[in-house]
Amino acid sequence: MNIALAQLNYHIGNFEYNTKKIIENIEQAKAKGADLVVFAELAVCGYPARDFLEFDEFIELCEKAAAEIATKCHGIACIIGLPVKNDILAGKDLYNAAYFIEDGRIKNIVKKALLPTYDVFDEYRYFEPASHFECIRFKGQKIALTICEDLWNINNNPLYVSSPMDELIRQKPDLMINIAASPFSYCHDDERVVVLSDNAKKYKLPLLYVNQIGAQTEIIFDGGSMVFDKKGKLVDEMPYFKEELKIYELEDGHFKGHEPIVHEAAPDIEQIYEALVLGIKDYFDKSGFSKAVLGLSGGIDSAIVCALACRALGPENVMAVLMPSKYSSDHSIDDAIDLVKNIGCKHEIIPIAAAADAFDQMMAPAFQGLPFNLTEENIQARSRGIILMAMSNKFGYILLNTSNKSECAVGYGTLYGDMCGAIGVIGDVYKIQVYQLANYINKDGIVIPENSIVKPPSAELRPGQKDSDSLPDYDILDKILFQYIELKQSSAAIIAQGYDEALVKRILKMVNNAEFKRYQTPPILRVSPKAFGMGRRMPIVGKYLS
């Protein structure tokens, strides 16, 4: 049997686009001799569709698209993912399901049993778990078809009390197929290989796994579809962050022309870079936007965001706005101009001193001679936000936020100032990783100016200001933040690792006190196992760990 895996980039709710893409790949797979072509989880509607799933019309459009796809399945079968109605009154109204289509007809409907409700997942909000399991018969073979999480209830600390494969294996299938919408994080590819390999090993069956690529607002899918033999050996791995259609010939339980290979993960920082570029590109393409604007300070964060945007959108579509204050150093302007020259984007220089002075004069009667403090610093940051939004409104630019994860974590930013924007590009990238990104971007030649990398970080909102005046050194701060945010360690557990008790408690208090700010920030491109946003849900007024 020749089985094609279609690793594609879908668009939530864009039925015409998704249907056309699926049909084109069915025709390509048929032309290349495939008997069956497999598409990803919820491919018809895109993942995650969220509350679109609560609209009857949305589900009807899914069914209409599936019917159109079925008309193209003659001489080839296909598997597509889509939501389907639950005809039983009790329970949720929908299933997360897959159609097996052959000879123009829907021959089988397979429903997902294990519905993740953690981190970015919220599937039990919409879907009823499957309770009946049956293999698909095709060309004399029995296929055990599962959907994403259905294969993840394996190894230590399983989240569910049973696994679909434990039921399906009793029917003596010949192979496993898993269709997925598995989001990217820089460590998730390694986890996938282990989980999928262990399934193939446990059930002693060859396994074909297809994932999708593309970004859906903050969630990024990286592809990396894989094939395993019945011993759990990886025999092929499709590209990451790239669409591809590939055919595998399965004969007597073996993939012809394939020998076991070793999964060689790209370095974390390379994966993060590719994910962020894809995240920016898809945010703009799928939203119908084309041009970006950002504030370019001469510092490393905005330089990185500018470089990423230029790679994703083309430098001709990126406007960098330099907004020096009375406290800005000459080298900051020079560093920003050097980046613009290196990268070829557009730029404007709009000083903010006049605006800040005007606000100071306006507020003087109310402030009654009170000394300069954080208030005046924030007025400068908000003046910059007003300028950037004016550029956005006047020219149709979409504003990119340039705050990093370390700043987001501790609230080191100004609401309605440097925290504004439509999409947070590096809000899931710690400051130490930002430096690593700079070195990666510069690997083939200087793009990020050296001075932007080596100089002490500063908001330049008062004389001689440095980040280290308000924050611990980033190499210490980021390690403690990682323990708390990604690893969910308590203050006591972090202190037990040897970190200073007062410092740990101060940092965790800053993180928790900044929750109200994070609720008002743009969506952040997710590249880590625990990003701010929909995957990390904390109360604003909570006392624990504060």
307 and 283 inside one domain:
yes
Tell me if 458 is assigned to some domain: yes
Tell me if 497 is assigned to some domain: no
285 and 239 inside one domain:
no
Tell me if 310 is assigned to some domain: yes
Tell me if 528 is assigned to some domain: no
33 and 56 inside one domain:
yes
The residue out of 467, 501, 536 marking a domain boundary is 467
Tell me if 546 is assigned to some domain: no
Residue 368 corresponds to which tokens in the numbers above?
Answer: 């009654």
> Pairing state of beta strands 207-210 and 175-179?
parallel
Overall number of domains in the chain: 2
Tell me if 539 is assigned to some domain: no
249 and 393 inside one domain:
no
15 and 124 inside one domain:
yes
Active-site residue set: 41, 112, 148
Tell me if 542 is assigned to some domain: no
How far is 329 from 326, CA to CA, in rounded Å? 8
The residue out of 467, 486, 519 marking a domain boundary is 467
The residue out of 432, 467, 502 marking a domain boundary is 467
248 and 301 inside one domain:
no
366 and 393 inside one domain:
yes
Phi, psi of 277 (to 5 degrees): -60, -45
CA distances from 224 to 14, 84, 97, 244, 327 (A): 24, 27, 22, 10, 48
191 and 297 inside one domain:
no
Residue 318 corresponds to which tokens in the numbers above?
Answer: 């990126």
| Cis geometry, peptide bond prior to residue 239 (ω within 30 degrees of 0) | no
Tell me if 435 is assigned to some domain: yes
Question: Domain containing 164 — which CATH number?
Answer: 3.60.110.10
281 and 214 inside one domain:
no
pTM of the entire structure?
A: 0.96
Tell me which H or E stretch contains 22: helix 15-31
252 and 324 inside one domain:
no
Torsion region of 396: left, alpha or beta (phi above 0 gives left; psi -120 to 50 gives alpha): left
Q: Which of 398, 53, 408 is closest to 217 using CA atoms?
A: 398
- Pair 279, 525: CB distance under 8 Å: yes
**How would you write the pLDDT of the chain (546 residues) with one tens digit per residue?**
999 999 999 999 999 999 999 999 999 999 999 999 999 999 999 999 999 999 999 999 999 999 999 999 999 999 999 999 999 999 999 999 999 999 999 999 999 999 999 999 999 999 999 999 999 999 999 999 999 999 999 988 789 999 999 999 999 999 999 999 999 999 999 999 999 999 999 999 999 999 999 999 999 999 999 999 999 999 999 999 999 999 999 999 999 999 999 999 999 999 999 999 999 999 999 999 999 999 999 999 999 999 999 999 999 999 999 999 988 877 889 999 999 999 999 999 999 999 999 999 999 999 998 999 999 999 999 999 999 999 999 999 999 999 999 999 999 999 999 999 999 999 999 999 999 999 999 999 999 999 999 988 877 777 777 777 888 999 999 999 999 999 999 999 999 999 999 999 999 999 999 999 999 999 999 999 999 999 999 999 988 765
Q: 76: which strand partners?
A: none
Residue 22 corresponds to which tokens in the numbers above?
Answer: 């699926």
118 and 155 inside one domain:
yes
Q: What are the residues whose beta carbons fall under 8 Å from the beta carbon of 505, sequence distance 6 or more?
A: 491
332 and 205 inside one domain:
no
User: What one-character-per-residue DSSP string does 142-199 give?
Assistant: EEEEEEGGGG---SSS-SSS--HHHHHGGG--SEEEEE---B--TTHHHHHHHHHHHH
Question: Domain containing 399 — which CATH number?
Answer: 3.40.50.620
Q: What's the alpha-carbon Rg for the chain, to the nearest Å?
A: 26
**Domain boundaries, position 276:** 271-467
